[in-house]
Amino acid sequence: MVIVAAVDRSKRASDVLKQAAALADQLGETLHVVHVMTRSEAIDAETTGISKDEGVEISELRAVAASVVTDLLEEHPVAVETTEIGRIGDPADDHDARYIVVGPRRRSQTGKMLFGSVAQSILLNTNRPVVSVLGQ
């Protein structure tokens, strides 16, 4: 099993990474650092020009998602075995995780209804334990 750190481009991502790495180290598990590009982000990426003249390959979109992880790990290296993953689709996919570590964003109820919440989606749709890291 693995520890999954679900990260994004926010300031909270480094806190999520730090806590997930500590958990992986304590439990002797591998850390999967994952950024999931939602379908709407994928559509936006295609329309804003990863490849303006032709359709965007799924591998290009995964590379964009993985770059979020790569950038974070370059800025905040960790001392545990780590796998970088960029995906598109359902953020609640648990990768056979022992724990999933997330950093929920504080939003109003209206904001959650209009824009959704990746952390909320994970909490409601996974059967794995979820660790919530609130940033400082």
Please give the sequence-ordered ranges of beta strands (E in DSSP) within 7-112, or none if there are none: 30-37, 82-88, 97-102
Q: Which two tokens stand for residue 73?
A: 């790990």
Q: Which residues, at least 6 apart from 15, have a Cβ–Cβ distance to it below 8 Å?
A: 103, 133, 135, 136
Average pLDDT over residues 91-98: 72
Give the predicted TM-score (pTM) of the model. 0.80
What pLDDT, on a 0 to 100 scale, did the predictor assign at position 87? Answer: 84
Domains delineated in the chain = 2-132 (3.40.50.620)
Phi, psi at 134, each rounded to 5°: -95, 125
Contacts of 126 (CB under 8 A, 6+ apart): 92, 94, 97, 100
pLDDT at 46 over 80: no
Q: How confident is the model at residue 8 (pLDDT cuts 50, 70, 90)?
A: confident
